[in-house]
Amino acid sequence: MSSSVEAITVLSSDGDEFKITVSAAKLSKPLNWMLEDVCFSDDCDEVPTIEVNSKTLVKVIEYCEKHAPRANSGASDSDAEELKKWDIEFMKMDVKDILFHILMAANYLHMEGLYDLACQTAADLMKGMTVSQIRKIFHIKNDFSSEEQEQLRRQHPGCSFD
Amino acid sequence: MASINECKDDILHNILGRLPASTFANASCVSKTWYRICSRILSRPMLASALSLNPSLLGAVEEVTEKVLSKPIRPHFAIACISEQFGLTAAHLLLSQRLGSKTPLVTHIGNGVMGMEAVANQLREVKWDYFDYQGPHPREANGFSDVNRGLVLVVGYVPGLKVDAIPLIHPKNDPGMSRVDEFVRHIKTYTFCVSGYHSPAALIIFGDRKSDMNDIMTTMDHGIGKETVMVGDGGGCFLSTSDNFTINFPSDLYELDAVALVFARDRHKSPDVGETRFHVAMAGGLVPFGPRFKVVDVLVKGEVKWTCLSALMQGFDTMLHFEAVIETLLETVSDRCPDLYIGVSHGRRYYSDSGRLINKVAESTSFHQVVGGEGEYIVVEGVGVRHGDTFLFYHRDLETARGTSEVAFEKLRRLKQSEEEEVFGGLIFACASRGQSYFGTPNTDTYPFHANFPNVPFAGIFCKGEIGRSSSSSSSSSSSSVKSYQELLQEEAPPHCSVHASSAVYLALSYLRPP
């Protein structure tokens, strides 16, 4: 791998160009493979496409750049604390808008840390919600028939439906 | 715009698997897809447990329930062991409210607790300093001391099994009237309705300190098939809530003697659900010594039931002076002041049609702690000793306790090595005479389980009269060079003994995946 390469350019699914540093790209296996392809290939003109939309990719790259120094060199406890706080701030986003895009992107890019963080955020969002509240925030259609609904109420007397 | 509906099942699985129990229950009713994924998350049995030494009952209950319900679980049964200081009724109601009023729950006052602290996540073995065996019955008493407060809670989810708490009661005005046969019948009927068999997979039994647990367990030993595992604490005080099995009895007319959490295999079990198995390992602590004696006279006294008995040395017919006998016996023991017990062999009498005694087979052993000698009489705890029974003296022995603890460790280690079964939970019933004060090292009673399964949830109780019977199909004779407690018993006494003394009983619950 040529040491002169410090960043690579990738395309989002919307066709926008993004720069991502080599160390940040290492957080994701698929990105890392792309990186190796780009560096070893003689024909460097071809820009790889990542099947993630621009809005999401901005956030994913932001996460990677923040976490890359720690992932590559290891960090002290105070850094870890600071990073945790940063993660919480980072995840304060509109649910419908982007959280699930991030989840799917993290899954697709094999980014364990981000995937874990996004899953936990989604779970935390639901905590304490009733059945209809969960349906509402996640736009889920109730596909139970009214008889099935009745049966559920009987089987799960502890559940709060409304 | 992406929505959660587009997420792949495994992403949803990951998210829903992080929900606390109550939200998880709600989430499973959101849609058909969610219902299916939630059912998959709960396809395996699990145990959740937590300990709290918070001096406030409310605070302690809050801590442990939050911890055990922090992950997806449907409480199929729950056991709480609390300190006497908390007040049994208040603790039981509070826990029942948190866990759902339909959840079979036993709230039990024992001599101490073992488990992982809910907040600090640290292993603890705590014996309550204050445990007044002679004091008022804890169901009536309400302590106000600030020390010795705490509890351990264990909640289980066991798909493929059905669980309920079945009580043993007796009318208050007739303390002598035993309903043990009826109790055994109730257990068998429930099991038959659920599984089509008469023997449940396991029984976890809690006895009241006022009841004669040796007698109850002897009847149960005969009445319930040998494949059933039995564990428990026979000498505490408890309250219980049942799901289907509610005997309507006014509490001012009846008293609770015991309760059994009955685990019966569900005949309607889905084929995707594997099997939950129960394994028992035991660590002993008593060694028999001296000659065998034969009981010639028995007196029972006191509400908490002491027995005074006189006996002859077998083969001799001179009355003995028991103060001297005990003194002589103690001289042969290296330990300066070992706890003394007698292990009484009870015979079952068989009569011919004409009423003539044709055979007497010794078939059960009960242990009674020796209180002292009074002239020709020896005073022991508990009742149930009869004229004609024989007994041996036993003393507590640290080497035996340590050695058999290794035997229990080894037995559980073999279970850990099994490729087909995975241990998902444990319960420990250890005699209150054990613990750090006896071994000199901390966490010795939890060691056989916790050292083998450091990440598996478990809870433990220090008790007075630990119950342990392994399933005859699973018990294998120990190949270890260290003589096990059972082996010692088999040499010196008749085989069956369900209520032990000075020992620790380990119950490991394991999961066998469906074929």
Please tell me the predicted confidence (pLDDT) of residue A5.
Answer: 64
Bridge-partner residues for B306, per DSSP?
Answer: B301, B381
Burial of B515 (0-12, 13-18, 19+ CB in 10 A): exposed
Contacts of A134 in chain B (CB under 8 A): 26-27, 30
Question: What's the pTM value of the predicted model, to 2 decimals?
Answer: 0.86
**CATH code at position A30:** 3.30.710.10
The number of C-alpha atoms within 13 Å of B169 and in the hemisphere containing its C-beta is 19
Bridge-partner residues for B230, per DSSP?
Answer: B203, B469
Please tell me the predicted confidence (pLDDT) of residue B349.
Answer: 58
Q: Which residue of A has its CA nearest to B5?
A: A140
Q: Which residues contact B153 (CB under 8 A, 6 or more apart)?
A: B49, B50, B51, B64, B65, B68, B78, B79, B80, B95, B459
Query: Which of B1, B3, B4 is the best mutation test for A, with the most CBs of A within 10 A?
Result: B4
Q: Which residues contact A17 (CB under 8 A, 6 or more apart)?
A: A9, A10, A11, A47
Task: Give the CA radius of gyration of chain B.
Answer: 24
Q: Does any CB of chain A come closer than 8 Å to the CB of residue B25?
A: yes
CA distance B181 to A24: 72
Q: Is residue A47 part of a domain?
A: yes
Contacts of A126 in chain B (CB under 8 A): 15, 19, 23, 27
Q: Is residue A51 part of a domain?
A: yes
A107/B11 Cβ within 8 A: yes
User: What is the pairing mode between strands B458-463 and B286-301?
Assistant: unpaired
Give me the residue from A97, A144, A161 closest to B32, CB to CB: A144
Burial of A15 (0-12, 13-18, 19+ CB in 10 A): exposed
Q: Is residue A162 part of a domain?
A: no
- Phi and psi at residue B59, to the nearest 5°: -65, -45
Give me the residue from A123, A131, A139 closest to B15, CB to CB: A123
Q: Is residue A152 part of a domain?
A: no
| Segments in B196-272 forming alpha helices (H) | 213-223
Per-residue pLDDT tens over the stretch A110-121: 988 899 999 999
Burial of B111 (0-12, 13-18, 19+ CB in 10 A): buried
Contacts of B4 in chain A (CB under 8 A): 100, 122, 138-140
A100/B16 Cβ within 8 A: no
Q: Concatenate the DSSP letters of all residues of B438-457 into one string.
A: HHSSTTTTTHHHHTT-TTS-
**Between A54-73 and A112-126, two packed helices, what is the crossing angle to 10 degrees?**
120
Q: Which residue of B has its CA nearest to A154?
A: B29
Reference B106, options B55, B158, B155; nearest CA is: B155
> How many residues in total does chain B contain?
515
Rounded to whole angstroms, the maximal C-alpha distance in chain B is: 96
Give yes or no for a contact between B108 and B427, defined as CB atoms under 8 angstroms apart: no
A142/B30 Cβ within 8 A: yes
Residue in this structure with the two tokens 């099991």, named with its chain if needed: B191
Which residues in chain B (483-512) have CB-CB distances under 8 A to chain A? none
Per-residue pLDDT tens over the stretch B113-127: 999 999 999 999 999
Q: Does any CB of chain A come closer than 8 Å to the CB of residue B14?
A: yes
Contacts of B16 in chain A (CB under 8 A): 123
Q: Which domain holds residue A24?
A: 7-128
A134/B30 Cβ within 8 A: yes
Q: What share of chain B is helix, strand, coil (3-state, %, to 5)?
A: 25, 35, 40
How many structural domains are present in chain A?
1
Per-residue pLDDT tens over the stretch B429-461: 999 989 988 898 999 999 999 999 999 999 999
Q: Which residues contact B116 (CB under 8 A, 6 or more apart)?
A: B49, B50, B51, B122, B123, B124, B457
CA distance A97 to B172: 67
- A12, two tokens: 């989002």
Residue in this structure with the two tokens 């509490």, named with its chain if needed: B251
Please tell me the predicted confidence (pLDDT) of residue B471.
Answer: 75
CA distance B80 to B449: 19
CA distance A144 to B484: 58
Q: Is residue A159 part of a domain?
A: no
Q: Does any CB of chain A come closer than 8 Å to the CB of residue B28?
A: yes
A131/B26 Cβ within 8 A: yes
- B195, two tokens: 């599984």
Q: Is residue A13 part of a domain?
A: yes
Q: B135-142: long-range contacts at Cβ-Cβ below 8 A with a sequence spacing of 24 or more?
A: B137/B210, B137/B237, B138/B84, B138/B88, B138/B109, B138/B237, B139/B88, B139/B89, B139/B237, B139/B239, B141/B84, B142/B87
- A81, two tokens: 């604390």
Cβ-Cβ contacts under 8 Å between A and B: the total is 87
CA distance B449 to B116: 13
Q: Does any CB of chain A come closer than 8 Å to the CB of residue B15?
A: yes
* Closest CA–CA distance from residue B38 to any residue of chain A (Å): 13
* Closest CA–CA distance from residue B19 to any residue of chain A (Å): 6
A97/B31 Cβ within 8 A: no
Contacts of B15 in chain A (CB under 8 A): 119, 122-123, 126
Burial of B408 (0-12, 13-18, 19+ CB in 10 A): buried
Give me the residue from B19, B26, B29 closest to A123, CB to CB: B19
Q: Which residue of A has its CA nearest to B101?
A: A158
Q: Is residue A36 part of a domain?
A: yes
Residue in this structure with the two tokens 């505490």, named with its chain if needed: B236
- A112, two tokens: 């364990």
Please tell me the predicted confidence (pLDDT) of residue B1.
Answer: 43
- Phi and psi at residue B54, to the nearest 5°: -60, 125
Please tell me the predicted confidence (pLDDT) of residue B246.
Answer: 60
Nearest 5°: CA angle at A34, between A28 and A37?
A: 145
B2/A101 Cβ within 8 A: yes
Contacts of B5 in chain A (CB under 8 A): 138-140
Per-residue pLDDT tens over the stretch A123-137: 999 999 999 999 988
Give me the residue from B7, B8, B23 closest to A129, CB to CB: B23
Give me the residue from A120, A143, A159 closest to B31, CB to CB: A143
Three state DSSP letters for B365-432:
EEEEEEEEEECCEEEEECCCCCCCCEEEEEEECHHHHHHHHHHHHHHHHHHHHCCCEEEEEEEEEEEC
**Residue B495 DSSP one-character state:** S
Query: Which of B1, B6, B23, B97 is the best mutation test for A, with the most CBs of A within 10 A?
Result: B23
Region of A27 please: left (phi>0), alpha (psi -120 to 50) or beta: alpha
- Phi and psi at residue B437, to the nearest 5°: -65, -25
Q: Which residues contact B274 (CB under 8 A, 6 or more apart)?
A: B44, B160, B511, B512, B513, B514
Contacts of A101 in chain B (CB under 8 A): 2
- B301, two tokens: 């006294």
Reference B237, options B458, B87, B428; nearest CA is: B87
Give me the residue from B2, B20, B22 closest to A100, CB to CB: B2
A140/B30 Cβ within 8 A: yes
Task: Give the CA radius of gyration of chain A.
Answer: 20
Query: Which of B15, B155, B157 is the best mutation test for A, with the most CBs of A within 10 A?
Result: B15
Query: Which of A119, A130, A137, A149 is the best mutation test for B, with the most CBs of B within 10 A?
Result: A119
Which residues in chain A (81-140) have CB-CB distances under 8 A to chain B? 96-97, 100-101, 103-104, 107, 115, 119-120, 122-123, 126-131, 134-135, 138-140
Residues of chain B scoring pLDDT < 70:
1-6, 130-147, 175-178, 245-251, 302-304, 335-337, 347-363, 472-496
Give me the residue from A126, A141, A157 closest to B27, CB to CB: A126
Q: Which residues contact B152 (CB under 8 A, 6 or more apart)?
A: B49, B50, B51, B52, B64, B80, B81, B113, B114, B115, B459, B460, B461
Amino acid at B164: D
- B400, two tokens: 């035996």
Q: Does any CB of chain A come closer than 8 Å to the CB of residue B29?
A: yes
Q: Is residue A15 part of a domain?
A: yes
Please tell me the predicted confidence (pLDDT) of residue B478.
Answer: 36
B4/A159 Cβ within 8 A: no
